[in-house]
Amino acid sequence: MKVATNEEVLRQLIVELRLLEGTANTLQSRLNFVNAILTELNYAKMTLEGLEKEKKDVPLFVPIGGGSYIRAKLESAENVIVGMGAGVSVEKSFSEAKETVGNRISQLEASRRTLQQQFTQVAQKMEEDQARFQEISEKLREVERRRNVPKA
């Protein structure tokens, strides 16, 4: 009777481990996405900080993607076009743009911390379930060995 109970627990652990693995993969994907956006926003922040000190008509290299650049001259650093998400961009003053980027970085760092905590919790639960799975599997193997021992 105990064997059936252990076998049922093993089946439940397998299902739970699969669900936890899916959750861990989803959280990891979200973390990767948040990290990519944070990297981009930190580049924007550094660029804004660098441009803050520049004068009109200073020569610049503007990235166009794929590691390629074009030459340009700074017309004005008074206003900046800031992406707000969902394909929407808004013109803001330089100080507003810096503040907007800084706020988005802060929000994303908080999201990253939350996602990282969730990922850690899922990973810990997976470890616990795997250890329990190993323990019950070993018990079932031992019961099976005892059954298969020929009687003298």
H or E segment to which residue 81 belongs: strand 79-85
Range(s) of the domain holding residue 77: 2-141
Classify residue 32: in a domain, yes or no: yes
Classify residue 76: in a domain, yes or no: yes
Classify residue 147: in a domain, yes or no: no
* CATH code, 43: 1.10.287.370
- Residue of 63, 90, 64, 67 whose CA lies nearest to 79: 90
pLDDT at 3: 57
Q: What is the pLDDT along the chain (152 residues), one digit of tens a residue?
A: 455 588 888 999 999 999 999 999 999 999 999 999 999 999 999 988 888 778 888 888 888 888 899 999 888 878 888 888 888 999 999 899 999 999 999 999 999 999 999 999 999 999 999 999 999 899 888 888 888 777 65
Q: What's the total number of domains in the chain?
A: 1
pLDDT at 57: 84
Rounded Cα–Cα distance for residues 114 and 37 (Å): 16
The conformation of residue 75, written as its DSSP 8-state character, comes to -
CB 60 within 8 A of CB 73: yes
Residue 99 CA: distances (Å) to CA of 13, 102, 105, 110, 118: 48, 5, 10, 17, 29
Classify residue 125: in a domain, yes or no: yes
Classify residue 152: in a domain, yes or no: no
Classify residue 146: in a domain, yes or no: no
pLDDT at 2: 56
Classify residue 151: in a domain, yes or no: no
Classify residue 150: in a domain, yes or no: no
